[in-house]
Amino acid sequence: MQKIKTRDVIVIGFALFSMFFGAGNLIFPPHLGMTSGDEWLTGFSCFIFVEVFLSCVGIYAMVLGGGSITALEDAIGKIPGRVLNIIIILCTGVLIAPPRTAATTFEMSIAPFTDKISLLAFSIIFFAIVFITTIRPTRFVDIIGKYLTPILVICTFILIIAGIVNPIGEIAPPLSSTVAQDGVIAGYQTMDILAVVGFGIVMLNTLRLKGYTDHKVQLKAIIYICIVAGLLLCSIYGGLAYLGATSSQVISHDLNQAQLIVAITRHLLGSTGTLILGIIVGFACLTTAIGLAGATAYFFEKISNGKIKYQTWIVINILISASLCNLGLTSIINLAVPILTTICPPFMVTVILLLFRNHIKNNAIYKVCAFIGLIFGLYYTIQSYI
């Protein structure tokens, strides 16, 4: 069996961490910590289950099934599987996540320092960088893993350590009566469980480009890669949730998710902290946008049998994402909630069942469970508007 290089595992694991660790991953844990108060570990655990555990399991399940497209379509049928894949890819790679990453970067990395750069001008610059980085499909995973992730991790840990050494305040009782549910919804909002469709393709392609062609070796490598990414994600999420929990008696509860992390950073590190946060946000959102753009382009090239070239979709993706970015962060988050609450349950159920593909041969089971998940998703979505 081919030997798996430790260097490859670390670089690809760092890249996977960075692709997952985007706008939502940074802004939702502190807000969850604030609303959860002294029950923040409960909210955090539910968040981690959806955000880290299911996402890593999803990557493995997709690779186990031979790739995200094949895995879903073989389980629930070609047409429903293809429809679900396309909806998920459009949400994670075009309509919600990339515009949100750019809008978050603007609100947290640019707006606190100057009002001379408009959101429109910034979105053009942001997505120009994404274009330059992703237009060559063989480069972007190594660029993320080798160069961007180490800077992101170091800056984030500086903030977390500052908050542990010198806590903002005492942890108060929870502001919410639905802490566990809040944790699950925050996990939905990061969209990482959905991103496994595109990221599964990226991971497989990257392993193949590095010479790992045997399926068993690929599966073993994916386990190691997910462990590296998962440990980084858990440690950083835990730190950010703790910062939010310690802020509930000191910082206003009326701030939105992005404004809260800005306020926490200013309280802990002053103006220097604002600069550090700007670097964290910029790198977190940029690495995610790069990963999603590349994954989406891979996906559409594959399902079109090469008729839509990778480079063509990169251009289409960036033009649409840059336009939607100008709706603003709050509008994008509000738009995402009903969509994600509806489509996450059927997808999560199917991904979990795919782990037992060798034991569950009857495709009717996958279809029924996915349908039940969809019904529950629709129910909770409708309930939130009643």
Model confidence pLDDT, tens digit, residues 281-329: 888 888 888 888 888 888 888 888 888 888 999 999 999 999 988 887 7
Residue 23 has pLDDT above 70, yes or no: no
Which of 79, 1, 55, 82 is CA-nearest to residue 203? 55
Model confidence pLDDT, tens digit, residues 31-69: 999 999 999 999 999 999 988 998 898 888 878 866 666
Q: Under a CB-based contact definition with an 8 Å cutoff, are residues 61 and 351 in contact?
A: yes
The residue among 111 and 226 whose pLDDT is bigger is 226
% of the chain with per-residue pLDDT over 90: 28
Q: Give pLDDT, residue 308.
A: 85
Q: Give pLDDT, residue 139.
A: 65
Q: Residues with Cβ < 8 Å from 190, sequence gap 6 or more?
A: 20, 22, 24, 25, 28, 51
**Averaged pLDDT, 263-273:** 88
pLDDT range class, residue 71, cuts 50, 70, 90: confident
**Averaged pLDDT, 63-92:** 80
Cβ neighbours, 10 Å, residue 271: 11
Provide the mean pLDDT of the chain. 85
Cα-Cα-Cα-Cα dihedral sign, residues 28, 32, 34, 35: positive
pLDDT range class, residue 149, cuts 50, 70, 90: confident
Cβ neighbours, 10 Å, residue 133: 21
Residue 111 has pLDDT above 70, yes or no: yes
Which of 241, 262, 242 is CA-nearest to residue 251? 262
Model confidence pLDDT, tens digit, residues 160-213: 999 999 999 999 898 888 899 899 888 877 778 777 877 887 888 888 888 888
**Averaged pLDDT, 364-385:** 86
Taking CA atoms, 206 is separated from 2, 15, 108, in Å, by 16, 11, 32
Q: Residues with Cβ < 8 Å from 364, sequence gap 6 or more?
A: none
Query: What's CA 133's distance to the chain center, in Å?
Result: 19
- Name the pTM for this structure: 0.79
The residue among 268 and 257 whose pLDDT is bigger is 268
Q: Give pLDDT, residue 69.
A: 67
Q: Give pLDDT, residue 48.
A: 93
pLDDT range class, residue 153, cuts 50, 70, 90: confident
Would you call 143 exposed, middle or buried from its count of C-beta atoms within 10 A (0-12, 13-18, 19+)?
middle
223: alpha, beta or left? (left if phi > 0; alpha if psi -120 to 50): alpha
Residue type, 233: L
Q: What's the rounded Cα separation, in Å, for the pair 175 and 66?
A: 44
**Averaged pLDDT, 70-90:** 83
Q: Give pLDDT, residue 148.
A: 77
Tokens representing 118?
């408009």
**Averaged pLDDT, 253-266:** 86
Q: Give pLDDT, residue 27.
A: 83
Taking CA atoms, 176 is separated from 50, 168, 170, 236, 278, in Å, by 19, 20, 17, 23, 29
Q: What's the rounded Cα separation, in Å, for the pair 93 and 321?
A: 9
Tokens representing 341?
């609450």
Q: Give pLDDT, residue 74.
A: 80
Q: Residues with Cβ < 8 Å from 197, sequence gap 6 or more?
A: 62, 68, 72, 85, 88, 89, 92, 295, 299
Residue 137 has pLDDT above 70, yes or no: no
Q: Residues with Cβ < 8 Å from 242, sequence gap 6 or more?
A: 33, 40, 160, 163, 164
Q: Residues with Cβ < 8 Å from 126, sequence gap 6 or more?
A: 102, 105, 106, 286, 289, 322, 325
Model confidence pLDDT, tens digit, residues 338-363: 877 888 888 888 878 887 877 888 88
Residue 24 has pLDDT above 70, yes or no: no
Residue 220 has pLDDT above 80, yes or no: yes
Q: What's the rounded Cα separation, in Å, for the pair 256 and 261?
A: 9
